[in-house]
């Protein structure tokens, strides 16, 4: 009796075996594919990149680099992947990712135009962050802005703290140059990958910074975006200038490249 | 810092290719008809896709998929009962059907009728026992997988299956 019931259990639904199930499977599979189209997460190639700045987890969608994450060790990698899975369907692709590593290596080596890849800001957490990151891309190599000035440029003159948050959550550091944002009094400030990496990046962009520097060096000049005049750090006009409209340059040369003229009071080189 | 090894979860596409046939077979046998199975199939994979990021890397995929499928079957059965109740309330209960269902004990030698009878008995089991039984005999899962899919202990899974078999044999 026992055998019989169990045999019978096995035979239930037996009528569906054979090529009937194949046809059903094909048509159902089409339905699933169609339905999935509406909820699909974008595909992304991911890989780990070795760079002079340490190991990076890089992800690329069809539109460009979507994540460039400093791996901080411990379970950081697993945690980042776990979070990323909610936004993207991940596929390992070492070749594509390696090219990104190569660009970063050349950039740190001093090749100004090495970072050629497009950027995909899908992972930006808010419209404000997206706006700030877009504005930040206009800040060229050899230049830094303050959190305050960047906030003003993005339409939030009192949003220095918010800009700080936006930088902290920058999904694509190096490519979106959040290392070029500093405190408005000239202090270097923090960095998601650690302050040492920020210094390393700024040094590679022409700023004469010591290993543990906390402030911009003395030969830095600042320029006003309105008057197009650049000054020494200690110029006496500094006290009355609108700080939300100034940029810092690694040197006088960079300032002149940006179309500015030297101040007649402090007479920078 | 030691070089880190990237360990990505399996692409969902691969999971689907690997398991779609057995899931379809299971749904066909549980629901007993192609249209329902096709609906459940679609729902199962859609839900699985949405829930996939929440599945911890390294956990078993098969019991997870079956857990999703069985949840959907349960919902459908519940909705089905609700629907059936409405229909019964509207129409008169058909005495001929009743007679047919109750009266085929004598035909148990006949495979076709035996299968119908067995289906009814399975349907009358408590949900946990029914689901465990279906996992065991329709999906061919081992007790560890059943336990994982039903979130119970292995002994619990074993007990549910043997209880189900015992009840069926008693009623036979």
Say how far apart CA B104 and CA A264 lie, in whole Å. 109
Mean pLDDT, chain B, as a whole number? 81
Residue pair A166/A132 in contact by the 8 Å Cβ criterion = yes
Six token digits for residue B64? 């997870």
Q: Which of A8, A25, A92 sits opposite B8 (nearest CB)?
A: A92
Helix ranges, B52-110 (H): 61-90, 95-102
Backbone angles phi, psi at A212, to 5 degrees: -115, 30
For residue B83, pLDDT beyond 70: no
For residue B90, pLDDT beyond 60: no
B-chain residues near A42 (CB < 8 A): none
Interval A189-216: pLDDT, tens: 889 888 899 999 999 998 888 877 788 8
Place of tokens 């690329």: A60
Interval B9-64: pLDDT, tens: 999 999 999 999 999 999 998 888 888 899 999 999 999 999 999 999 888 999 99
Q: What is the pLDDT of residue A14?
A: 67
Cα torsion A148, A137, A205, A210: sign: positive
Say how far apart CA A198 and CA A70 lie, in whole Å. 12
Cβ–Cβ gap A1/B172 under 8 Å: yes
pTM of the model: 0.80
Cβ–Cβ gap B4/A6 under 8 Å: no
What confidence category does residue A11 fall into, taking pLDDT thresholds of 50, 70 and 90?
confident
**Catalytic site includes residue A266:** no
What is the SS3 assignment for A215?
A: strand
Q: What is the pLDDT of residue A234?
A: 85
Cβ–Cβ gap A91/B49 under 8 Å: no
What confidence category does residue B108 fall into, taking pLDDT thresholds of 50, 70 and 90?
very low
- Kindly report the nearest CA distance between residue B92 and chain A, in angstroms: 31
A-chain residues near B115 (CB < 8 A): 8, 11-12
Cβ–Cβ gap B20/A25 under 8 Å: yes
A-chain residues near B18 (CB < 8 A): none
Q: Which of B3, B11, B118 sits opposite A89 (nearest CB)?
A: B11
What confidence category does residue B110 fall into, taking pLDDT thresholds of 50, 70 and 90?
low
ipTM of this complex prediction, to 2 decimal places:
0.81
Q: Which residue has the higher pLDDT, A16 or A213?
A: A213
A-chain residues near B169 (CB < 8 A): 1-2, 5
Interval A120-169: pLDDT, tens: 999 998 999 999 999 999 998 989 999 999 999 999 989 999 999 999 99
Cβ–Cβ gap B11/A73 under 8 Å: no
Q: What is the largest CA-CA distance in chain B?
A: 78
- Kindly report the nearest CA distance between residue A13 and chain B, in angstroms: 5
* Helix pair angle (B143-150, B61-90), 10° resolution: 60
Interval A172-182: pLDDT, tens: 999 999 999 99
Cβ–Cβ gap B46/A39 under 8 Å: yes
């Amino acid at each position: 009796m026992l055998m019989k019931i169990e045999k019978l259990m096995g035979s239930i639904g037996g009528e569906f075996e054979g090529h009937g199930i194949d046809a059903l499977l094909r048509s159902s599979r089409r339905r699933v594919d169609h339905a999935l189209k509406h909820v699909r997460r974008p595909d992304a190639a991911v890989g780990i990149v070795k760079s002079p700045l340490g190991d990076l987890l890089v992800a690329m969608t069809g539109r460009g680099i979507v994540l460039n994450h400093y791996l901080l060790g411990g379970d950081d990698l697993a945690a980042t992947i776990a979070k990323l899975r909610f936004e993207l369907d991940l596929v390992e692709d070492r070749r594509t990712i390696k090219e990104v590593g190569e660009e970063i290596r050349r950039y740190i080596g001093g090749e100004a135009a090495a970072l050629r890849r497009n950027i995909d800001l899908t992972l930006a957490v808010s419209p404000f962050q997206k706006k700030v990151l877009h504005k930040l891309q206009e800040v060229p190599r050899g230049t830094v802005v303050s959190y305050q000035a960047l906030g003003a440029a993005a339409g939030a003159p009192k949003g220095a703290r918010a800009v700080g948050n936006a930088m902290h959550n920058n999904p694509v550091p190096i490519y979106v140059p959040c290392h070029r944002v500093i405190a408005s009094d000239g202090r270097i400030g923090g960095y998601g990958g650690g302050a040492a990496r920020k210094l390393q990046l700024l040094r590679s962009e022409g700023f004469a910074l010591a290993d543990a520097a906390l402030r911009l060096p003395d030969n830095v000049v600042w320029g006003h975006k309105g008057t197009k005049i650049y000054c020494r750090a200690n110029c006496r006009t500094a006290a009355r200038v609108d700080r939300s409209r100034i940029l810092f340059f690694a040197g006088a040369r960079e300032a002149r490249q940006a179309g500015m003229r030297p101040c007649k009071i402090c007479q920078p080189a | 810092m030691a070089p880190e090894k990237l360990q990505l979860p399996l692409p969902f596409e691969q999971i689907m290719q690997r398991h779609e046939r057995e899931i379809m077979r299971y749904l066909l046998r549980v629901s007993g008809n192609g249209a329902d199975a096709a609906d459940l199939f679609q729902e199962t994979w859609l839900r699985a896709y949405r829930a996939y990021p929440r599945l911890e890397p390294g956990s078993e995929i098969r019991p997870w998929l079956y857990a999703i499928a069985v949840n959907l079957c349960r919902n459908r059965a519940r909705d089905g009962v609700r629907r059936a109740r409405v229909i019964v309330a509207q129409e008169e209960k058909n005495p001929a059907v009743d007679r047919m269902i109750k009266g085929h004990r004598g035909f148990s030698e006949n495979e076709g009728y035996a299968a119908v009878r067995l289906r009814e008995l399975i349907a009358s089991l408590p949900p946990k026992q029914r689901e465990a039984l279906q996992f065991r005999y329709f999906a061919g899962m081992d007790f560890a997988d059943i336990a994982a899919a039903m979130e119970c202990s292995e002994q619990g899974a074993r007990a549910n299956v043997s209880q189900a078999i015992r009840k069926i044999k008693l009623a036979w």
